[in-house]
Chain A
Amino acid sequence: MSIRHPLGFGASVIATALLLAACSAGSVGQGSASDGPSSSSAPSPGTAGNVPPSVKAVIHTDHGPAEIVASTDAIWVANHRGGTLEKVDPATNRIIGSVTVGGELNLSDNDPAWACTNVDSNAHRIDLTALSVTSSAKTGCNGGSIRVIGNTAWSAAGPDDVGATLLDATTGSIRAHLALPTSGSGGPVVLAHGRVLIGGGNPTAAYTPAGKSLGLLPVDMTWLVPPIGSDLYRVPDSGAITQLDPSTLKPVLTIQAPKHSDDWNWAITGDGHGHLWYRPDYTHIYSVDIATRQVTLLMTLPWEEVPTGIHYAFGSLWITNYDTDTVWRVDPTT
């Protein structure tokens, strides 16, 4: 029996990435610039339940908001239960667009134009301007990860499938299938010193950006996370946040944070300028100052059936609340 993952590893460990989404013609999905829930409100801690004071806005979304990433002008929320991708205007904290993609939706960790529907393990390309799905391909992405590098979308298969699929990032057409030589390599996919590494395993498969194999590197990338800014990190379950040299892949910095328990209910994001935010479990988010190596508890979250997605962009920390269909915009300095 196949396993559907509430959130894929690579996608749940959300890194900061601000990418322009490419646009293309054609439309097979359905979208709207105004449909879907769009209310936003300033939080009222005394009346709106357990809303911490650092929450500056509460944005009501479709059902089961999970992963969240940013483009240059918007925040994008993948609603795992509702199957929709919603666009949030960071200037107004309101939802200004929605497109139905499909069941149990997950996002690429660096480009909202790519999403995986866990229910059928298909990778979809979304026109973020027209709000329509322009292509779909079976890549086995359920529980895996998708990352756009150059003009190629790399889809690493989850545990129900093997290998990786390379797709044209503009058209969505399949360019190649890679039969990974190691098991458990569901990603994330990262670009490090000109090489594409497919994390999640040990040893680690390396490729050129064009998809030519560079063989296996004798490094453990089991706990690799998507790049945060231009930095590469590994976060093993011991909680030792480890920055890697992208050339040698050797540790250059280690900061001890609380341990996380398994392979998918934790997340990390950052501003790319010395600050990380780390959620080791369902309910706690820690601030990590890289310069001072200080780890401090930022906030406590309500327990959710599926852990929250976190993402830093537009000067704020954005947090999805899966069970209450909301996104919190948090001022991480308070």
Chain B
Amino acid sequence: MDEINDELAARAQRARASLVAESARHPVPLPSSVGGARRARGSRTIPVLAGLAIVAITVGALVVSSWRSQSVVVPNVMSTVSAGSRPVAVVTDGATTYVADAGPGTVTAFSTDKLSASWTNQDATRPIALALSHGNLWVLDAGASRLLELDVSDGHVVATARTSLHPLGVTVTGTTVWVLSGGNDTLDKYDATTATQTGSVDLPAGATSVTSGGGYVWVTASKQVVRVALDANRGSGVLSVPVADQPVAVAATAAGTWVALKTGELVDLDPADPSRTRAHVATDAPPTALTALVDGSAVVATTAGTLTRATTNGQVSALTAPGAALASLASSGTLLVGVSPVTALLYATEVPS
């Protein structure tokens, strides 16, 4: 047992060293479009956040799985890196993780292996949501009510499109980009190849978030979850499912659809019949973000700064505790990433399969 502990300690040490080295080589750019006070604070932020990044590396439960010597992302070890000033959204394709920083309005690509920044785009004013498709990154710029399409190789803008009033979220299915408009209570459809709007789906009032998975688009609204067929238009193809309380987030794969409720409950809906609940578990605190893993399980972040995994058979296990409420979670395979606007950090770990 001592040998295992020693090995884990050594791995954590290597991870910290790698992170510090990479952070030094790829400093996260300073905010460039904020006021003087923000810049003055930002000028002191690099060393402070680098220190925070070192301190924030948390060794979690003693679970060992495959270890890549060049990576800072290890199972149940929550690695972190500075992600600007107010990161609010994250997506990942496994190799690269993209973070939207609503503070200065930047989008940054991080190499997931080493959590090093590879490029930063500064064309948005207040990016709040991200989605990946076909080699491009879709950025929802709520500050300018725009949708930006970025080339993932270097972050340059490929196309832009206007959104409807008060855009809240974005997701992609096939060649369709879906943008949730809170001002119109619509789910607007854009052609991903031309970045032009092709239609709108009417939603119930109070829509708050959108995701896709399992052959549908899913929306959280006032005390209901809305399943939207991929060919929906205007009022057709929309199924509303009442839930017990205000849903905070929804995450879906072909294996399951999870809904996090404000009260601290996690509900697994049958995608074929969303009115049927397959699992119903409690979280340790109100949820703040949710993602679904390929095996159909879900990981939920809470206001208590914890990450909890729930499976479709109702089993719950604590993953780790980043210590801060994460505003956005994303996953690819066993990789789990999240961001917190409070700590301004990007968190990454591997979830045991």
A residues contacting B by CB (< 8 A) are 1, 3-4, 62-64, 81-84, 100, 102-104, 119-120, 305, 323, 325
Pair A63/B162 contact, Cβ less than 8 Å: yes
Take A83-B184, A103-B181 as given contacts and tell me if A64 and B164 are in contact as well, using a CB distance cutoff of 8 Å.
yes
- CB-CB nearest in chain B for A118: B184
Take A63-B145, A81-B184, A119-B185 as given contacts and tell me if A100 and B235 are in contact as well, using a CB distance cutoff of 8 Å.
no
Pair A104/B184 contact, Cβ less than 8 Å: yes
Q: Within the complex, which residue of A3, A103, A323 is in contact with B183, where a contact is CB–CB below 8 Å?
A: A103
Which residues from B are CB-within-8-Å of A1?
235
Pair A81/B202 contact, Cβ less than 8 Å: no
Taking the closest CB of chain B, its distance from the CB of A110, in whole angstroms, is 25
Which residues from A are CB-within-8-Å of B166?
83, 103
Give me the 8 closest cross-chain CB pairs, A-B, nearest first. A83-B165, A63-B162, A103-B184, A81-B164, A103-B183, A104-B184, A103-B165, A83-B183
Pair A63/B235 contact, Cβ less than 8 Å: no
Pair A63/B163 contact, Cβ less than 8 Å: yes
Taking the closest CB of chain B, its distance from the CB of A107, in whole angstroms, is 16
Pair A102/B165 contact, Cβ less than 8 Å: yes
Q: Is B101 interfacial (CB-CB < 8 Å)?
A: no
Give bound CA distance, A63 to B184, whole Å.
Answer: 12
Pair A81/B198 contact, Cβ less than 8 Å: no
Which residues from B are CB-within-8-Å of A82?
145, 162, 164-165
Which residues from B are CB-within-8-Å of A325?
162
Within B162-221, the residues touching A (CB, 8 Å) are 162-166, 181, 183-186, 188, 196-200, 202, 205
Pair B183/A305 contact, Cβ less than 8 Å: no
Which residues from A are CB-within-8-Å of B145?
63, 82
Pair B196/A103 contact, Cβ less than 8 Å: no
Q: Most chain-A Cβ atoms within 10 A of its Cβ — which of B166, B183, B184?
A: B184
Which residues from A are CB-within-8-Å of B186?
103-104
Q: Within the complex, which residue of A63, A84, A102, A305 is in contact with B198, where a contact is CB–CB below 8 Å?
A: A305
Q: Give the A-B pair count, Cβ closer than 8 A.
A: 56
Which residues from B are CB-within-8-Å of A103?
164-166, 181, 183-186
Can you show 24 pairs from A to B with CB atoms below 8 A apart?
Answer: A1-B235, A62-B162, A63-B162, A63-B163, A63-B197, A64-B164, A81-B184, A81-B188, A81-B200, A83-B184, A84-B165, A100-B165, A102-B165, A102-B183, A103-B164, A103-B166, A103-B183, A103-B185, A103-B186, A119-B183, A119-B185, A120-B205, A305-B200, A323-B197
Q: Most chain-B Cβ atoms within 10 A of its Cβ — which of A4, A63, A82?
A: A63
Within B128-172, the residues touching A (CB, 8 Å) are 145, 162-166
Which residues from B are CB-within-8-Å of A104?
184, 186
Give bound CA distance, A84 to B185, whole Å.
Answer: 15
- CB-CB nearest in chain A for B163: A63
Give bound CA distance, A1 to B234, whole Å.
Answer: 12
Take A81-B184, A83-B183 as given contacts and tell me if A305 and B199 are in contact as well, using a CB distance cutoff of 8 Å.
yes
Taking the closest CB of chain B, its distance from the CB of A111, in whole angstroms, is 22
Taking the closest CB of chain B, its distance from the CB of A305, in whole angstroms, is 6
Give bound CA distance, A305 to B185, whole Å.
Answer: 18
Give bound CA distance, A83 to B145, whole Å.
Answer: 11
Taking the closest CB of chain B, its distance from the CB of A177, in whole angstroms, is 23
Give bound CA distance, A103 to B181, whole Å.
Answer: 9
Which residues from A are CB-within-8-Å of B162?
62-63, 81-82, 325
Give bound CA distance, A62 to B145, whole Å.
Answer: 10
Give bound CA distance, A83 to B165, whole Å.
Answer: 6
Pair B235/A3 contact, Cβ less than 8 Å: yes
Taking the closest CB of chain B, its distance from the CB of A53, in whole angstroms, is 24
Taking the closest CB of chain A, its distance from the CB of B177, in whole angstroms, is 15
Which residues from A are CB-within-8-Å of B185?
4, 103, 119
- CB-CB nearest in chain B for A3: B235
Taking the closest CB of chain B, its distance from the CB of A104, in whole angstroms, is 5
Which residues from B are CB-within-8-Å of A63?
145, 162-164, 197
Taking the closest CB of chain A, its distance from the CB of B47, in whole angstroms, is 39
Taking the closest CB of chain B, its distance from the CB of A5, in whole angstroms, is 10
Q: Most chain-A Cβ atoms within 10 A of its Cβ — which of B162, B163, B198, B199?
A: B162
Give bound CA distance, A103 to B235, whole Å.
Answer: 16
Taking the closest CB of chain B, its distance from the CB of A70, in whole angstroms, is 24
Give bound CA distance, A178 to B156, whole Å.
Answer: 57
Which residues from B are CB-within-8-Å of A62?
162
Which residues from B are CB-within-8-Å of A100?
165
Which residues from B are CB-within-8-Å of A120?
205
Which residues from B are CB-within-8-Å of A81?
162-165, 181, 184, 188, 197, 200
